[in-house]
Amino acid sequence: MSTKQTLVVIGNGMVGHNFLESFVASDIRDNYEIVTFCEEQRAAYDRVHLTEFFSGKTAEDLSMVSDGFFETNNIKLHLNDKAVEIDTMNKLVVSEKGVAISYDKLVLATGSYAFVPPVTGHDRKNCFVYRTIEDLEAMMEAAKTSKVGAVIGGGLLGLEAAKALQNLNLKTHVVQFSPRLMAAQLDDGGAKMLADKIEALGVSVLTSKNTTSIVDGDECLHKMNFADGSTLETDMILYSAGIRPRDEIARKSEIKVGARGGIVIDDQCKTSAKDVYAIGECAAWNGQTFGLVAPGYSMARTVVADLAGKEASFTGADMSTKLKLNGVDVASIGDPHATAEGSLVYTYQNGADEIYKRIVVSADKKKLLGAVLVGDASGYGTLLQYCLNDIDLPENPDSLILPSRSDESVGLGPDALPASAQICSCFDVTKGQICDAVESGCHTMGELKDCTKAATGCGGCSALLKSVLDCELEKSGFEVNTDMCEHFAFTRQDLYNLVMINKIKTFDDLLSQHGQGRGCDICRQAVGSILASYWNDYILSDDHLSQQDTNDTFLANMQKDGTYSVVPRMTGGEVTPEGLIAIGQIAKKYNLYTKVTGGQRVDLFGARMDQLPLIWQELIDAGFESGHAYGKSLRTVKSCVGSTWCRFGVDDSVGLAVELEHRYKGLRAPHKIKFAVSGCTRECAEAQSKDIGIIATEGGWNLYVCGNGGMKPRHGDLFATDLDKETLIKYIDRVLVFYARTADRLQRTSVWMENMEGGLDYLKSVVIDDKLGLCNDLEEQMQHVVDTYQCEWKTTIADESKVKRFRHFINSDKTDENILFVEERGQIRPANEEERQHMAVTEEA
């Protein structure tokens, strides 16, 4: 008989799911059977980033549920079934489909709904709210037959929605009831600057417009009538006029709700009904509801703690926000409206650069109460810390928003923050926790994110996190030694720059001019890679040979028994029957173990060093070239079969894969590089797990960067959408050369991205906006590599002195008799220790 209690969670949105995650990670997890209801047809997904659905992200991408989460944690999920009634007397929940569950504890996480102004015609065709993936799908469908779109509501979400409409190629209007945009967060000056900037981007902004009715239009589907007599014609309408708590189930079940809506909760998130909690946007604490996820997560943590009998309370939340709207930085901190008595306001307005900053400080000028930033939100992190941690302001508070005319930094050093300062609000990580993690050995951004989860939510705190990390490392006396090795007191990036600027062409020159000693396996390999990626000379020339790892030296992959494997290039995974037969014959002749790789080509194992030139002579005669499987270089461009054959294919993925593989083959980089191209969003080529991933869409190619499979999988970041081939190639050129120049040695693109200050946005600013003025240079360098490509095996075989190098013995034609194979499943494999002894005995006998 089960002695477990039953915990029911109504709602599987972001907060409901976050609660489940926190709960199953807690030590009371085993005391409960867990049941959850989700009225949508999909379990929890990331509503904050819903707009990205338009830029190519799929419902799966947005999902917040890790694989097998419900199954592994034994949570009964009632999908597509809405809980409709709670019997608080008998502690019973009943669903729309008639499921009835007795609960011991109940958590309401029903969220909110979009407010639709009750005007005549509000429910006409092609009028939508912006809340679920289904809403977005309906909008996309409607956009196909629309030319003009209007968003009612000029708040955060409304402006995001406007961006989405603009991306759907609609002439877009934002219709705001109040006199200014983002009325809750901005003051008049900030809102005016924001409106100007948004209009400059092609979105028209109408303020003080009270919609009175929606009727048939003359040129468009609808005509919106406003109270001031003006009108607006539009084909589509999006309501984004605020949210209301979903409290109907509480009302029906006689659980107390607030005067302005929302299920009333106390500091432990308990409702008026026994053993019933409410969290997230449906809850009203102190008469206040919270439309952000961070307070919801904070409530979820409070409930988990309370259930576990630990002391915890929810004490309100900071509603500060920072975001980028159509490329415009906007931030609001604390109370931007100066409502506190005696508060003082400082404003900086720069019309030329379209920057607006305003801070609100206490009457004694000691504390920061609020701030508004438009056009430049770089000071957000510092200002937020002043505000949240009650840190004393500098003597002249306006120095915080005035442009600095000297080198003097006005930023708040991470050292000035108390240990209790919250660095990451998404996961409630304090500076103290980060310091502990650094002390226990997390010395990179990647490790720190893994360990503390900081900066893995919205990512807004990553710059601050980095500065705390650097500061702690320095303070703890941990010498942040970024030297390559004892022979070069430089980072890989420094060495790359030295090679570029001084046009250094050999390891010996670099060592004699900038290093010391004889070098070692670390720096030789790294410098060899740098020289190869910049100059692209033949890597086995006398100047370069001594820097190559054994795989590069013998242009094959060394295996555990000292033999090598051979991989001819098969661009895009394409191979003719004749080619396949030739490979088969060669494998048979040299008795090689044959296996198909994950990169869609054939790997031939068990070749002795002395056999490599012979095998390659035959492969080259059959029309093959080096596959560079041995190099820290481009490996393969995997592809699905694409529109040529596939019923669902949108574009020719194989054709593009072949073209890209030919373009980038031989490119040497800090580590290996893998590509994939998928012909449609079904993504059969698994492009999102590659360093460079490309997916065909109706509008062109979507580019993903810095993904990885392997030991630590990383989903590629969507970098740009609907690109034509020419732009796509330019972006890839730039990303790859920038990677080759700036990554650490043996750093894959995924880790490079994780450690990049500014992350994806920074990489975009360099590659798309040309922030560093480097793009031409990057493209030229790539073109040089493309133009100087050579098949290293062809070059090697043509040079007798190079072929000589492949003999096992310099003074004998004998081969290494210690290499022994046995047969398994019809092919060779290296003999193991026991088998070797047996073979030796047999031979002697």
Partner 1 sequence: MSNWIDICPLDDLQADSGVCALVEDKQVAIFYLPKEQAVYAVSNYDPFGKVHVLSRGLLGDIKGEPMIASPLYKQHYSLLTGQCFEDEAVSIEVYAVRIENNRVEVSLEG
Which CB atom, from 54 or from 507, has the smaller least distance to partner 1? 507
Minimum CB separation of residue 307 from partner 1 in Å reads: 50
Handedness of CA 536, 542, 544, 549 (dihedral sign): positive
* Tokens, residue 42: 């999909």
* Tokens, residue 17: 């799911």
Minimum CB separation of residue 797 from partner 1 in Å reads: 18
One-letter amino acid of 601? R
Long-range contacts, stretch 136-145, CB < 8 angstroms, 24+ apart:
136/50, 136/53, 136/54, 136/164, 139/164, 139/165, 139/168, 139/236, 139/238, 140/54, 140/168, 142/235, 142/236, 143/168, 143/169, 143/170, 143/236, 145/235
Which CB atom, from 318 or from 816, has the smaller least distance to partner 1? 816
**Site for partner 1 (CB under 8 A): which residue of 52, 549, 686, 835?**
549
Give the whole-angstrom CA distance, residue 414 versus residue 115: 41
* Tokens, residue 211: 């919609």
Burial 570-603 (b: 16+ CB within 10 A, else e): bbbbbbeeebeebbeebbeebebbbeebebbbbb
Minimum CB separation of residue 809 from partner 1 in Å reads: 4
Interface with partner 1 in residues 598-657 (CB under 8 A)? 609
Minimum CB separation of residue 555 from partner 1 in Å reads: 12
Which CB atom, from 122 or from 836, has the smaller least distance to partner 1? 836
Which CB atom, from 409 or from 818, has the smaller least distance to partner 1? 818
**Site for partner 1 (CB under 8 A): which residue of 254, 814, 823, 837?**
814
Which CB atom, from 126 or from 633, has the smaller least distance to partner 1? 633
Minimum CB separation of residue 6 from partner 1 in Å reads: 54
Decide: is 521 part of the binding site for partner 1 (CB under 8 A).
yes
Decide: is 809 part of the binding site for partner 1 (CB under 8 A).
yes
Size of the site for partner 1 (CB under 8 A): 37
Q: Which of 426, 515, 517, 513 is nearest to 464 (CA)?
A: 426
Q: Which of 593, 539, 536, 596 is nearest to 563 (CA)?
A: 593
Would you say 679 and 572 are in contact if contact means Cβ atoms under 8 Å apart?
Answer: no
Interface with partner 1 in residues 486-505 (CB under 8 A)? 486-487
Decide: is 554 part of the binding site for partner 1 (CB under 8 A).
yes
Decide: is 812 part of the binding site for partner 1 (CB under 8 A).
yes
Strands of 671-789 (E only): list them.
673-678, 692-697, 700-705, 717-723
Give the whole-angstrom CA distance, residue 779 versus residue 789: 16
Give the whole-angstrom CA distance, residue 236 versus residue 259: 34
Would you say 735 and 763 are in contact if contact means Cβ atoms under 8 Å apart?
Answer: yes
Decide: is 545 part of the binding site for partner 1 (CB under 8 A).
yes
Handedness of CA 432, 434, 435, 436 (dihedral sign): positive
**Site for partner 1 (CB under 8 A): which residue of 2, 3, 811, 842?**
811
Q: Which stretch binds partner 1 (CB under 8 A): 353-361, 623-631, 777-785, 808-816?
A: 808-816
Minimum CB separation of residue 517 from partner 1 in Å reads: 5
Q: Which of 224, 215, 54 is nearest to 141 (CA)?
A: 54
Q: Which stretch binds partner 1 (CB under 8 A): 118-126, 405-413, 448-456, 522-530?
A: 522-530
Minimum CB separation of residue 509 from partner 1 in Å reads: 13
Decide: is 478 part of the binding site for partner 1 (CB under 8 A).
no
Tokens 């630990």 sit on residue: 310
Interface with partner 1 in residues 326-365 (CB under 8 A)? none
Which CB atom, from 475 or from 518, has the smaller least distance to partner 1? 518
Q: Which of 346, 316, 292 is nearest to 14 (CA)?
A: 292
Decide: is 518 part of the binding site for partner 1 (CB under 8 A).
yes
Decide: is 180 part of the binding site for partner 1 (CB under 8 A).
no
Minimum CB separation of residue 507 from partner 1 in Å reads: 9
Minimum CB separation of residue 565 from partner 1 in Å reads: 14
Decide: is 659 part of the binding site for partner 1 (CB under 8 A).
no
Helix, strand or coil, per DSSP, at residue 477:
coil
Rg (CA), the chain: 31
Q: How far apart are the first and last CA of the chain?
A: 68
Decide: is 134 part of the binding site for partner 1 (CB under 8 A).
no
**Site for partner 1 (CB under 8 A): which residue of 5, 207, 212, 546?**
546
Decide: is 553 part of the binding site for partner 1 (CB under 8 A).
yes
Contact residues for partner 1, defined by CB under 8 A: 486-487, 508, 517-521, 523-525, 542, 545-550, 553-554, 558, 560-562, 609, 804-805, 808-812, 814, 816, 818-819, 833
